[in-house]
Structure 1
Amino acid sequence: MDSSLHATLGLVLGCCLWGAWGQTKIHVSNGGIWGTWGEEQSCPGNSFTVGFSLKVELPQLAGDDTALNGIRLLCSDGSTIQSNVGPWGSWGLVKKCPSGQRLTQFRLRVEPCRGLKDDTAANNIEFVCTGGAELRGDGRCWGKWGPQSRSCGPRGICTIATKVEAPQGKGDDTALNDVYFRCCRPETLTPTSMQPPTSTTQTPTSTQPPITSTQPPTSTTQAPTSTEPPTSTTQPPITSTQPSTSTEPPITSTEPPITSTQPSTSTEPPITSTQPPITSTQPPTSTTQAPTSTEPPMSTEPPITST
Structure 2
Amino acid sequence: MHEAGALALTPTTAAPMSGPVPERGSAGDAHLPFADPQSAATLDLTVQATADWLADRPDHARAAHLEGIRSWLSHCQKTHVNPLTATPWDVIYWVSTSKRSETSMPPAKRAASVRLWYAHLVQHRVCVRDPTQGVQFPSGEPARPRVRVHGVLASAVLVDYADARASDDGSEGAWRDAALVAMWFYTEIAPPPLLAYELSALRLTVGELWLVKADSSDRVPLSGHADRLVRGYLERRSARLGRHWEQLRGPLLATTPAEEGGTGDLPLTSARVLIIVRALAEHCGLPHRPRLSAGCAALPGQDGRVGGYEENDAGLVASGRLSVITR
The TM-score with structure 2 as length reference comes to 0.21
The TM-score with structure 1 as length reference comes to 0.22
Structure number with higher strand proportion: 1
Structure possessing the higher radius of gyration over alpha carbons: 1
Structure number with higher helix proportion: 2
